[in-house]
Structure 1
Amino acid sequence: MLEVYAFGSNGNFQLGLGHADDIIVPQLSLSLDVCKGVTVKKIACGGNHTLLLLSNGDVYECGSNAMGQLSNDPQVETVPKWIKLDMKNIKDISCGWEFTVLMDVSNNVWIRGYGPKGELGLGDNITKISTFQNVMSLPQDYKCELFTSFQNCTLLVQRPDGGSMVYGWGSNTKCQLLTPKSKSIFVPTIIHENDSQQIAQVAMGKNFLLLIDDRGAIVSARGAIPESFHLDEWKDKKGLEVYTMWSSIHIHYQSKIYSFGFGVHGQMFDNDYFKKTVMNTTTSKLIEINTGSEHGMLVVQDDKIPGFTVYCWGWGEHGNCGRVKEEQSDDKSIINDYSNLSSKANEIIHLNSVTPPAVFGGCASTWVVKYD
């Protein structure tokens, strides 16, 4: 059994709760009686739609279909509750603002929705499509992974010979894909290639991206990189865990989170506060980190207390950083009351489970997956 909890932005039913109110308290969104070992591999969020991928290849979806990003039926404007996609054997999913991209186990990449800046990768004459169309196919022995942001899509390809390539398409107004800048790149185009270096991650902000290799080293930074981030200070360091929000970069390195970028709404992580209020015992461990559009999530385990605790930090405009602990009460409405707009590490939920929860971030939405 797995349970998916959601809170935050919900104006187009993208939390799968059957209503369109922004939520500040985690609510059970989806419960699945799955076979042993089946997990939520990924939750991908567009501006107003959501996809969920299970490790068995099944995909569920909900939210806005205004641009055909979910349903083949043009009369269906929204999908208020989760429905199962009729495609099988999917191994990766990702979403941009108004588009959806999938990859099946045969390394076929499928896309649908709206992309005026080339996000669909189908040429400059196709900016909207309401059924999945194949945008590219790779050899089955290649290891491939999708990464997207606001108006960009990238495909990471690791070849069996040890080399790697990164394809990119979509907006290029900030040179986030290639130099010189251009309004759009309308078809999948190689933006990085190396015969011996394995790129392992593409970390994408709204108008920038970082390439991280299999040693955990940042090898490239392009686009509108936050001014406070300097690649020279990091390029010789290995073992980095890199996370991005739309306007900021966050690097977990040697037990600290280093933040660079826009921080007016609390996006810059406060290590001192976190250490003092959360990691104040020698038995506490940081298990997982993830980020959404302008907020982050943390999973912490304390060996003295059964289970795991989830925290959020950053911009909580839509309730996606939860209600502050001092104001958590069963007699308060679950609807967002705008009481936590800028959040330091804020305790969200404690789960008495044996298996660590998974956390995912969307466009001002937060997702917690509980197992067993």
Structure 2
Amino acid sequence: MTYRIYVCGSNGNFQLGLDDNEDRHQLECAQFQFELGRTVDLDIRPVKVACGGNHTLVLLENGQVYGAGSSRYGQLGCFQESLPIFQKLNLPFKVKDVVAGWNYTVFISAYDEVYTCGQGFTGELGLGKIHLQSLPAKIELPYNGRIIKAGSSLHNVVLQFENGELYGFGNNKKGQLLDGPKVLWTPTRLAICAREFALARDFAVFSCDGKLLLQGKDQYGIAERLQTVGKIDRIWAMWSSVHLLSSRQLISFGNNSHGQLAPVTTIGTPAKIAIGSEHGLLAEKFKVFAWGWGEHGNCGRHQKEKSGVRFDYMNEIYTEQHVVEDVFAGCATTWVVVRCRENA
């Protein structure tokens, strides 16, 4: 199999892996550096794209990680100032998951060890009051179970263990993780267990015992709206809105200043959804649609008689012969992973 990653959106510090730093308003193939040269074709399936403020990490199925963009603060775990195209990171462990925040990265190893690197002034490294870590450093976990999910926002992280317990670290100024100190310098057990959770900029949403709970700053009256929703399958959060999947219904609450709330309700199957900082993606087998705030080209070019950066409709950004494997969304960046079909 051959795979490619199509990208568009904000390209500060080369984070799209295109060998320049110009924003893209239509999809192009990210470039990868291998021993035999650079290519857009991958023989190993990409399983995740983790996006920071100006850096990006691609996790492959074999546990290898490739990075592009800024590493000014060590957020790519290397000493180069930046990587203009995706290069393999020299990590001493196999990775099963990776998440990123504004200037930091969190790696989950195949043995459920957690490593962090980059810059963090509010505990997002989980290393105590260390603010800068140029190479991945292992953090001490108070619980040694299997990690089944990791989530991150600009300045905080939550780890979910197989027993349902949640541990968080980083910014807690709005009480988005727990009632307590404004900064969690090391992994701290949260007061609730949750089946699903999502982290926004100033709040977090948890699914606990069939109920949806919002913790933190509720500027848009989301908490009350959450009580009107029944059983949910998935939760996502932009910086200022919440998106729920419930029995194939996509439900959105929160800030809609730039069309962030989903303009459709019924989702077909199979379909994939990705939620970024202030935009969303909906993928079908051969098509991808974007909606929300498209300031940097992350929602493509308007396909309707419209202009500006508000995409309050499903804007088609990909329709080709290759099969869409997955979609990912970051800080005004869009990522479409495709499986190439022969003779297509």
1:54 to 52, 55, 60: 60
Structure 2 letter corresponding to 1:248: S
Cα root mean square deviation, aligned: 2.4
* 2:127 maps to 1:128: no
1:141-174 CA distances to partner (integer Å, 9 max, x unpaired)?
6243211001101111113xxxx21111111111
Task: State how far apart, in whole Å, the 1-side matches of 2:144 and 2:295 are.
Answer: 43
Residue pairs, 1:68-217, within 5 angstroms: 68-73=74-79, 76-87=80-91, 88-124=93-129, 126-137=130-141, 142-159=146-163, 164-180=164-180, 182-194=181-193, 199-212=194-207, 217=210
Task: State how far apart, in whole Å, the 1-side matches of 2:226 and 2:260 are.
Answer: 21
Instruction: Give the number of equivalent residue pairs.
Output: 329
Alpha-carbon distance, 1:193 to partner = 4.8
Question: Which contiguous aligned blocks of 4+ residues in structure 1 show a shift greater than 4 angstroms?
Answer: 137-141
SS in 1 for 2:63: coil
Question: Percent same amino acid at aligned positions?
Answer: 35
Alpha-carbon distance, 1:184 to partner = 1.3
Structure 2 letter corresponding to 1:172: N
1:87-112 CA distances to partner (integer Å, 9 max, x unpaired)?
24200100010001101111110001
Alpha-carbon distance, 1:86 to partner = 1.6
Q: Structure 1 pair 201/233, CA: closer, same or farther in 2 (3 Å)?
A: closer
Q: Structure 1 pair 235/21, CA: closer, same or farther in 2 (3 Å)?
A: same
Residue pairs, 1:1-372, within 5 angstroms: 1-30=2-31, 31-34=40-43, 38-73=44-79, 76-87=80-91, 88-124=93-129, 126-137=130-141, 142-159=146-163, 164-180=164-180, 182-194=181-193, 199-212=194-207, 217-230=210-223, 233-234=226-227, 237-271=230-264, 285=269, 287-301=271-285, 308-326=286-304, 339-343=307-311, 344-353=313-322, 355-372=323-340
TM-score, structure 1 length as denominator?
0.82
Structure 2 letter corresponding to 1:95: A
Q: Structure 1 pair 233/313, CA: closer, same or farther in 2 (3 Å)?
A: closer
Alpha-carbon distance, 1:9 to partner = 0.3
Structure 2 letter corresponding to 1:109: V
| Structure 2: 5+ residue stretches without partners | 32-39
SS in 1 for 2:13: coil
Q: Structure 1 pair 56/340, CA: closer, same or farther in 2 (3 Å)?
A: farther
TM-score, structure 2 length as denominator?
0.88
Alpha-carbon distance, 1:233 to partner = 4.8
Alpha-carbon distance, 1:226 to partner = 4.8
Q: Structure 1 pair 189/18, CA: closer, same or farther in 2 (3 Å)?
A: same
Check whether the contact 2:54–2:69 (CA below 8 A) recurs between aligned residues: yes
Task: State how far apart, in whole Å, the 1-side matches of 2:318 and 2:229 are.
Answer: 37
Structure 1 letter corresponding to 2:274: N
Check whether the contact 2:168–2:187 (CA below 8 A) recurs between aligned residues: yes
Check whether the contact 1:107–1:144 (CA below 8 A) recurs between aligned residues: no
Structure 1 letter corresponding to 2:83: V
1:289-309 CA distances to partner (integer Å, 9 max, x unpaired)?
1110000000135xxxxxx11
1:229-266 CA distances to partner (integer Å, 9 max, x unpaired)?
23575487223322110110011224432211111111
1:292-331 CA distances to partner (integer Å, 9 max, x unpaired)?
0000000135xxxxxx11000000000000001258xxxx
| Structure 1: 5+ residue stretches without partners | 302-307, 328-337
> Who wins on radius of gyration, i.e. which is larger?
1
Structure 2 letter corresponding to 1:315: W
Task: State how far apart, in whole Å, the 1-side matches of 2:334 and 2:175 are.
Answer: 30
Check whether the contact 1:351–1:370 (CA below 8 A) recurs between aligned residues: no
Structure 2 letter corresponding to 1:13: F
Structure 2 letter corresponding to 1:178: L
Alpha-carbon distance, 1:202 to partner = 2.4
SS in 2 for 1:20: coil
